[in-house]
A and B are shown apart, each in its own frame.
Chain A
Amino acid sequence: MVSQKELVQLELNSNSIKQGNLACAGCQLNAAFKHSLTAIKNNGIAVVPACCTSVIQGAGDGYGMNVPIMNTAFAAAPAVASGIKRRLLKEGNTDTTVLVWAGDGGTADIGLAALSGAAERNEDIIYIMYNNAGYQNTGNQKSGATPRGTKTTTTTTGKKSRGKNIARMMVAQGVPYVASANSAFATDLYDKITRAVEDFKGGFRYIEIFSPCPPGWDVDTRDTHAMGKLATETGYWPLWEAVDGVVTLSKRGARYNDPAKRKPFQEYTKLQGRYAHIDEQLLILAEEDIEFEWKWIRRFMGEL
């Protein structure tokens, strides 16, 4: 377990993202990338399909991150990463981590088949999905992981159906290590990625990171960090890790298993423009989805 001050020192030394890249002001994905790459100690190769990160890295004389990046087509990222890792292993390089860094559109919608295939082959890669709940770099269209009740440019009156939870799908598929993390809980995120890199080397690992998006969610840039914290505190984004299909709650998020200890869901929604002017019935359904997700978690914990 890393302390906050240790993590700050590690991040200053590793300098994982370069200043002045193309991320929007307040983008939590950039923060998540910083914490994750520090955990990998910059000894990795990132495979990035079309997503916000492929914009953030920049196009021109340089790029804004401190690891080699391979850009691929949307549906190909896990397959490309598998190939890179196999080649590295043939050369005798077992240290370098190969990770896929993909958004929720590239994971939940377009890349799902390739993801499931790589998980089934148990490839030695880490798949990281950062969840900003939509296709944000093309202008906030709805993705499979967009939660119910939110306004996007393709669901102007609020999305009517429940969002997909890919982490849960990966647990059901029997992936050796699955974790749910949050960019606002930096030390927790760092510990999960360190664990994935060190303890579960040799198998497929899947980590999902909650990453609020200021323009897409219509949130003030200064509130994006608070948004991440509130998501966990209202129970909307549980923090857990699963080893061989058995879920354990993380220390930082375990208390929100009890609905009485959660903050009201409205505290989370009222700061976001995407939940404004949405039908109240739909918001009630969106609130019920929280308990629906927790029931699944309790089932995977063996409590139900």
Chain B
Amino acid sequence: MSEERHIHPIVRPMEGVAGRTSEWRTARPELFDYNCIKCMQCVLHCPDDCFTINEDGIPVIEQTYCKGCMICASVCPVDTIIEIPTLPGGEIDAIDPKSVAPEPKKKRK
């Protein structure tokens, strides 16, 4: 026993204390960016902080930890976040996301 496991009495903040939480879900959100109006409602109200913003200013969903609560889909004013059912395990889609993609809307200039 040369290497003893070191147990610290103090722990620090870290990601994924509950593991890969996407395993919990039965459906996942998919954001179709062509209709996005960048209102950021989904980012603001996501209870698990599972959003980042890409260089175009469009929200991106962090699928590793998304628990699939679908609040983002319910607050989206243009309905461009769509619920995709997943197989047990939360990783593999049960249907093809393209088959439920919303119609592109004309953007007001």
Contact = CB atoms under 8 A, between A and B. Distances in A.
Given A26-B71, A34-B47, A18 B18 contact: no
B63 to A, nearest CB: 11
Given A20-B20, A62-B12, A186-B44, A25 B67 contact: yes
A61 to B, nearest CB: 6
A15 interface: yes
Contacts of A25: 24-25, 67-69
Contacts of A60: 11, 17
Nearest to B45: A225
A20 B17 CA distance: 6
Contacts of B17: 18, 20-22, 57-58, 60-64
A222 interface: yes
Interface residues of B, number: 37
Contacts of A61: 11, 14, 17
Nearest to B38: A5
Contacts of A225: 45, 71, 74-75
B45 A31 contact: yes
A224 B11 CA distance: 31
Contact of A19 (B41, B43, B45, B62): B62
Contact of A222 (B19, B64, B69): B69
Q: Which of B12, B51, B65, B71 has the most CB of A within 10 A?
A: B71
A11 interface: yes
B71 A19 contact: no
Nearest to A224: B71
A85 B13 CA distance: 22
Interface string A61-85: 1111110000000000000000000
A5 B42 CA distance: 11
Nearest to B24: A25
A230 to B, nearest CB: 12
Interface in B36-76: 40-41, 43-53, 62, 64-65, 67-71, 73-75
Interface-central residue, B20, B25, B43, B67, by most chain A CB under 10 Å: B67
A17 B71 contact: no
A58 B67 CA distance: 16
Contact of B49 (A17, A26, A27): A17
Contact of B18 (A7, A22, A222): A22
B47 to A, nearest CB: 4
A16 B47 CA distance: 11
Given A19-B62, A25-B69, A226-B74, A62 B48 contact: no
B86 interface: no
B40 A221 contact: no
B49 A19 contact: yes
Interface of B: 11-21, 24-25, 40-41, 43-53, 62, 64-65, 67-71, 73-75
13 contacts: A15-B49, A16-B49, A19-B64, A21-B17, A22-B17, A23-B48, A25-B25, A27-B47, A30-B48, A61-B14, A184-B45, A186-B45, A222-B69
